[in-house]
Amino acid sequence: MGDKCKVVVAGDANVGKTALLSKFLFNIFVQDYNFTVGIDFHSKVVNLKTGEAVRLQLWDTAGQERFRALLPSYLRDCCTILIVYDVSNRKTFDGIPFWIDYVKRHTTKQPPIILVGMKIDLITRREVAFIDAQTIAKKYDLNIFEVSAATGED
């Protein structure tokens, strides 16, 4: 078994953080989630193209402001941070600069941040164009992906 990689998933409430992880971990999509209270933890071994196995430690954080004080301790020593927003809710996208600043202030090693736009299956409800997401990703020098936990589309 190779290295461990701690991945923290952050973003506003109801953007699809838990749905993203459930799809990745178990290949399931549950329509109605209860909101995450505090932090949830999962672990999964993935095999890299190099043949090396890496254990991902996945930390699903609550988006509600009242749980935000818990986040800094989980950001320590992480190797990647996913900042998740909902493409059908512009307010969650507008909060990205806050999340980027927040995680940068609470990490010492400045791990890579990846933006993840969720719910791309809700085509008629889209409020955030991919070009807007690309613009903010370029501004902060981040990678960006758009996905759907419901359909598995990416």
The conformation of residue 35, written as its DSSP 8-state character, comes to P
* Whether residue 37 has pLDDT greater than 60: no
Class of the 4-146 domain?
alpha beta
pTM: 0.88
Report the C-alpha gap between 20 and 24 in whole angstroms.
6
Q: E strands along 62-120, which residues?
A: 80-86, 113-118
- Range scoring the smallest mean pLDDT among 52-56, 88-92, 134-138: 52-56
**What pLDDT, on a 0 to 100 scale, did the predictor assign at position 111?**
93
The answer to whether residues 111 and 80 touch, using CB atoms and an 8 Å cutoff, is yes
Which amino acid type is present at position 42? H
Cα 128 to Cα 90, 91, 117: the distances in Å are 6, 10, 9
Report the C-alpha gap between 101 and 98 in whole angstroms.
5
Q: Among residues 94, 93, 149, 83, which one has the least CA distance to residue 122?
A: 149
